Structure 1
Amino acid sequence: MRQAVGRRHGAVWAAMSLAAALLAGCGGGSGGLTAAPGGGSPAPVVPNPGPGPSAPEVSLAGLKFWVGEQGPSGETAFSGPQQQPFLCLTSLSNLGEPIVDNQDGIGQPVYQVPGNTASPLLGYSKRCGVKTQVRYFYYTGSDFAAFDPATQFVTPPANLQRVRINGADLPFVVRVEAGTINRFSYSVAMLAPFAESTATPKDLDNSVWNQKMVYWMRGGVGVGHQQGKAMWFGGLWGEEKPVMPRLLEQGYAVVSSSGNETGVHYNVRLAEETAVMVKEHFVQTYGKPKYTVAMGISGGAVQQYLFAQNRPKGLFDAGVPIQSYPDMVTQAIYVSDCSLLEQYFKDEVALNAGSMWATWTNRTLVEGLSTSATKTNKFLGGAGSSECIEGWGTAAPGVINPVFTDPAYQATANALGWPTAFTNVKWTHWNDLANIYGTDARGYAPIPVDNVGVQYGLKALKDGFITADEFLRINACAGSWKEQDEYLTWLMPPADPFDSRNMRRSADCRTGAGTPAPRRSGSLKAMNIAYTAGQVFTGKSLDIPLIDLRPWKEDQLDMHNSRQSFSERARLAAGGGNQANQVIWFTGETSTTGVATRAMDALSILDAYLTTGTRPARFTDQCFTNAGQTIAAGSQVWNGILDNRPAGACTQSYKVYSSPRMVAGDSFRGDMFKCALKPVATALADGTYGATDPFSTAEKTWLNKVFAAGVCDYSKPDVGRPAGV
């Protein structure tokens, strides 16, 4: 994984990671603020309708175009108002400067000398469009390099690899079409081992295309306001380099768009529309493929689950989600707890060096996530850290803090000649999707982050690993996040590693005589809209086969924690979706080459499934060793995770962790935005704290003080979920 704008295949959540890659030209995104010309303050907007009969369909107009022509990139009824400011990164994709499309001050200024504000201003680009172009690349054995078909078919480069097609040994040359659709940079890559004309699509030699398509989607977590980079013209990521040659040598067409990179944006509705448009352009240009299989890592996997739910049948026919999450917004439920808890542990250790929290592995008791006694801590230094820090430590400032802007974003805007671009941007995930969530009169989108009634460490208390006194201190001192208009910019580590200046805390929370830190009640409107706008995977629908592939990285404290695959399965079970369409593979192969090998194995099984219409025997739950050998396969291998049966062979081989909310009593689904509450007296009487009451009389008084509004009743539905969804 690399630090790039919206860091690639992992939901990096950090604005600093997102912006760092902006300068490298690798991230960022779109959403939907309605802005004044030139990037002024956004006006309040009403949310777009979500999926359903009343929602407008994706427009397919203007998608038949070719070299020298532009793809459609105007505002649509489906995704709503286009976000401004919006950085055009076509130059960083090696596609050239964006085309001027207005003289009204809307969008990125385009200068005669790119980025030089002293040169004549040519106009503005609000659509970031470029003319479509075709280039060729050849495979060197480790990467792809530019190829000149006019000369190098005759005099090939010394390191040009060969590929065996239908018994013939051919030069490994790839044709890539690239341009813009829906304001994002797209690409279409196909093996092209023969000299050909590109005058029209009919002149292309597609004789080695196997008539099948792979739609590749990238990961990361972006908070918008940029276009992202095209694959191929803008380069390949490390994990793509071992996959692309294998796909292409088998004859697959590989299609992608920066609009389907979640490091660019996390507006699933906009991403869905973009995928529909890009695929339709492919169909109109090259012909309808026999089938389309989606592939992608992290956010690229999230899109597969959500597109399968929101657009059943027709867009993708199958998928290989790698290191998946069910969706982005329900990750924020537990990730928002991480810094609150780590700040508490930091304070406790500072007050008492002998605190149990000085032993890093003890933190799993309350955080649920993996910890390590030996890993060097990226925030605090020294030995010992947690997934909460290594994986999610920048989540709160990167996704929740509206005023934190990494300098790299501004540096990019400066380099593009647009120094005032980000003056009024509110850097949150929900403001990035303001055309879905709406905004208040001050321009803030509502956010669903809520921890009222959450009893952190409840399972540890019941199991006897922490005392009642420690349980009460955690819950009295954990606090919550402030409201959006109260935020200050993040003082990056080591100054304020967990963004504590933006927490609601209490200086005297550690005894029953003190004042508990307040909790935060999230916006029911935001929760409702997240569901109705298709941003949450509910498990009600999964009409295509998916092989959910996960390299096990818990010992690395990687954010792609292992329980996510089972959260998806639990949601399918609760929602009535087709559980038989999801199989789960874990592997100890964590190298990019190892994961690529397993992904191609999964693709071969899906190919057989789609070609024959018959479910292959290997389309089943499996787990593999570090060397790629099968440990076990079959419907029983994951027993003991979502049921009380004896642990299956894969369950025994790979430890599955949980989350702060799950050890507080929530289910494995991990989709409870806001719990229903019950009185403390009811909890004391109904066994919430175990068969034996762990509290003294004084501690019960303290418990009632901490949870004056009541505690979570996880036996009841999510208060934030609309009826019937």
Structure 2
Amino acid sequence: MVVDNSLTDSLFNSNRVLNAETVMMMKEHIVDTYGEISYTVGNGCSGGSIQQNTAASIFPGLLDGIQPSCDYPDSITTGLEVTDCVLLVNFYAGSDWATLMGALPQAQINAKKAAINGHLDHVGCQSWNNSFGFNNKPGNYVPTQVINQTTGVIAPVGAPRNNCRLPAALVYDPATNPTGTRCGDPDLATAVWGTTAGIAPGSTRARQTGDNVGIQYGLKALLGGAITPEEFVTLNEKIGGVDADSNRRAARSTADLPALDIAYRAGIVASGDHLGRLPIIDSRGFDEQGIHYIWRSFAERARIDAANGGNHGNQVMWRYGTGLLPATPAQITAVTLQSFLTMDTWLSNLTVSAPKETLNSVRSQAEVIEAKPATAFDLCYLTGDATFSTPVTDIAVCDADPRLAKHSSPRQVAGGPLAENILKCRLKPLNSAEYLPIVFSTGQWARLEAAFQGGVCDWSR
């Protein structure tokens, strides 16, 4: 039986707790109407992967196996990269960056952007800005988009709109309608986040988790020689953040602390422990100039590893470089169909080797791995293999294919972990020794101290 619901579609519902509750109620309805369920499998790309992962994280045992493609571990940590990219795109389009770049050729400028962003090239952050850069806008807005993919020039595009798709007069405006409906992503889940005072007098808003205090944008690019000390200092002086209404500002973004606890405790930040307790077959295609990056699958694996002593045996990854998804009958047979058949065997094995006491009981990672079928292993199809006829299991060979290699993100370039599951970092004092052999001038160091008055991220804790 194939089941769908508008509330399990990320296009219509980004409240991840409500998504998981919907899955639970759908299962209850199926049992009441049709009889017992043998097992429940999630399937979907992009937002569909988010809904699977977060349902498995929020209510472990609700899904027996998942088949994410175009994978993101969750939406809330994906939002870190979105906001970072919006800030970077706007910084690159400003006068401070233009002054730094001077008469450099555009190719060199774009190489610097790519080094700071962590992506294959400079286009990735532009794609995030144009696709989802306005999701947290609570009121009416005209999106500012990149209109030249080579130079990164930005401009307002289109008519005013809002994320609720409501008449403009009904929507929040800090001056004319402070109590109007707020349409930012957190505001769609106030029952989860709780509320606090808004920017406009008399207004309230959902608590938020966005934070970039202490983030050293471009740190690895600096240490690797891709950008200069002056570029690094100016970037971190000027990048700024966003306020609670998702407006860019000079100060860094600051999270509402109670929301951070909720995000982790509720499983909205996908838990490696919970994701380690069910079979996962991750189908990962190529979209490195879009928004679906290969490193996201490895981030999910890193979370599972961290929670399970380095063991990710319940997660299988199938990579291919021909496109975002299998497109031809041969590709669909090799990946989509084979994934379904492998998952069916895996879960059928589990119903015998580790039967669930109740419909939503949770299995252990050891039980899941013990039932793993012979066809469940990491593999790739090299980019030249358009028919997916030769699965490759030598992962070093897979990684050497440019369209199968993982890149990173602005926060990883800033020193953050591959798991990318830290919403707000702990801080440590600036220490000039940590930049050696890079040496800042006295003036540059004073500016860094002003930019990071509370310290910089300590990713070790």
1:433 aligned to 186, 189, 202, which one?
Answer: 189
More displaced, 288-297 or 589-598?
A: 589-598
**1:698 matched to 2:443:** yes
Tell whether 2:423 aligns with 1:689.
Answer: no
Give distance in 1, aligned partners of 2:68 and 2:374: 20
**SS of 1:391's equivalent?**
helix
Q: How many angstroms apart in 2 are the aligned matches of 1:279 and 1:345?
A: 48
1:564 aligns with 2:296: yes
**C-alpha distance after superposition, 1:637-678 (max 9, x if no partner):** 2xxxxxxxxxx1221121211000000000101111111111
Q: 1:136-151 alignment to 2 at 5 Å?
A: none
What is the identity, as a one-letter code, of the residue corresponding to 1:268?
R
Contact 2:58 2:268 in 1 (8 A): no
SS of 1:398 mapped into structure 2: coil
2:46 partner letter: S
Deviations along 1:170-192, one digit per CA (max 9) or x if unpaired, are xxxxxxxxxxxxxxxxxxxxxxx
The one-letter amino acid of 1:675's match is C
Matches for 1:580-591 after TM superposition, within 5 Å? 580-590=313-323
Contact 2:223 2:438 in 1 (8 A): no
Alignment pair present for 1:615 and 2:362:
no
Aligned to 1:476: 237
Say if 2:112 and 2:227, in contact at 8 Å, map to a contact too: no
% identical aligned pairs: 33
Counterpart of 1:546 in structure 2 is 280
Instruction: State yes or no: 1:532 paired with 2:275.
Output: no
Equivalent position of 2:81 in the other structure: 334
Kindly indicate whether residue 124 of structure 2 is the aligned counterpart of residue 387 of structure 1: yes
Out of 704, 712, 715, which is 2:457 matched to?
A: 712
Q: How far does residue 412 in structure 1 lie from its aligned partner after superposition? A: 6.4
1:631: how far off? Answer: 4.3
Amino acid at match of 1:664: A
Whether 1:303 and 2:35 are equivalent positions in the alignment is: no
> 2:164, 2:407 → 1: CA distance?
39
Q: Which residue of 2 aligns with 1:503?
A: 248
Q: Distance in 1 between matches of 2:374 and 2:163?
A: 53
> What's the offset of the Cα at 1:579?
1.7
Question: What amino acid is aligned across from residue 272 of structure 2 in structure 1?
Answer: G
CA distance in 1, matches of 2:111, 2:432: 29
Give the number of the structure whose residues are more often helix, by fraction.
2
Give the secondary structure class of the aligned counterpart of 2:277. Answer: coil
Distance 1:678 1:664, change over 3 A: same
TM-score, length-normalised on structure 1? 0.52
| Closer, same or farther: CA 469–413 of 1 in aligned 2, 3 Å | closer
Higher strand share: 1
**1:141-179 per-position Cα deviation (integer Å, ceiling 9, x unaligned):** xxxxxxxxxxxxxxxxxxxxxxxxxxxxxxxxxxxxxxx
1:264 aligns with 2:41: no
The residue type paired with residue 364 of structure 1 is: A
Which amino acid in structure 1 is aligned with residue 308 of structure 2? G
Deviations 1:476-518 (A, max 9, x none): 111111343xx6xxxxxxxxxxxxxx3223xxxxxxxxxxxx3
- Counterpart in the other structure of 1:602: 339
1:663 matched residue in structure 2 = 413
2 CA distance for matches of 1:401 and 1:337? Answer: 19
SS at match of 1:661: helix
Output the CA distance in 1 between the equivalents of 2:164 and 2:23.
30
Letter in 2 for 1:362: K
SS of the residue aligned with 1:255?
Answer: coil
Give the number of the structure whose alpha-carbon radius of gyration is greater.
1
SS of 2:4's equivalent in the other structure is strand
The two structures have a TM-score, normalised by structure 2, of 0.80
1:703 positional shift: 2.0
Q: Secondary structure at the match of 1:285?
A: helix
Q: Could you tell me which amino acid in structure 1 is paired with residue 306 of structure 2?
A: A
Asked if the contact 1:349–1:355 (Cα under 8 Å) also holds between the matched residues in 2, the reply is no
Contact 1:340 1:478 in 2 (8 A): yes
Residues 230-275 of structure 1: per-residue CA shift (max 9 Å, x gap): xxxxxxxxxxxxxxxxxxxxxxx21111110011111111111111
**Per-residue CA distance 1:50-79 (angstroms, 9 max, x = gap):** xxxxxxxxxxxxxxxxxxxxxxxxxxxxxx
Per-residue deviation, 1:534? 2.1
- Mapped partners of 1:549, 1:523: distance in 2: 35
Contact 1:338 1:393 in 2 (8 A): no
Cα 1:707/1:357, change in 2 over 3 Å: farther
> Which of 103, 111, 114 is equivalent to 1:354?
103
Which whole-Å deviations, capped at 9, do the CAs of 1:75-106 have from their partners, x for residues lacking one? Answer: xxxxxxxxxxxxxxxxxxxxxxxxxxxxxxxx
Q: State the Cα distance separating 1:350 from its structure 2 match.
A: 4.4
The reply on whether 1:629 has 2:389 as its aligned counterpart is yes
Q: Is the 8 A contact 1:327 1:536 kept in 2?
A: yes
CA RMSD of aligned residues (A): 2.5
> Cα offset for 1:390?
1.6
Q: State the 1:425 CA deviation.
A: 1.5
1:180 — aligned with what? none
Of residues 347, 356, 363, the one that matches 2:113 is 363
Q: Which amino acid aligns with 1:569?
A: R
CA distance in 2, matches of 1:664, 1:410: 31
Higher relative contact order (CA 8 A, sep 6+): 2
Q: 1:435 to 1:403 in 2, by over 3 A?
A: farther
Unpaired runs of at least 5, structure 1: 1-252, 372-384, 488-501, 506-517, 638-647, 717-725
Distance 1:346 1:412, change over 3 A: closer
1:515 paired residue number: none
- 1:354 counterpart letter in structure 2: A
Distance change in 2, residues 1:401/1:695 (3 Å): farther
1:446 to 179, 184, 207: 207
Kindly indicate whether the alpha-carbon contact (under 8 Å) linking 1:292 and 1:317 is maintained by their aligned counterparts in 2.
yes
**Equivalent residue pairs, number:** 399
- Counting only pairs closer than 5 Å after superposition, residues 64-83 of structure 1 correspond to structure 2 as none
Query: Which whole-Å CA distance do the structure 2 matches of 1:575 and 1:410 have between them?
Result: 36
* Structure 2: distance between partners of 1:362 and 1:409: 34
Structure 1 contact 349–357 (Cα < 8 Å) conserved = no
Deviations 1:389-411 (A, max 9, x none): 12333433222454438756699
Q: Which residue of 2 aligns with 1:169?
A: none
| Structure 2: unaligned runs, 5 residues or longer | 143-158, 173-179, 198-202, 351-370
- Alpha-carbon contact 2:381-2:390 (below 8 Å) kept: yes
Task: Write the distance in 2 (CA, Å) between the matches of 1:710 and 1:676.
Answer: 9
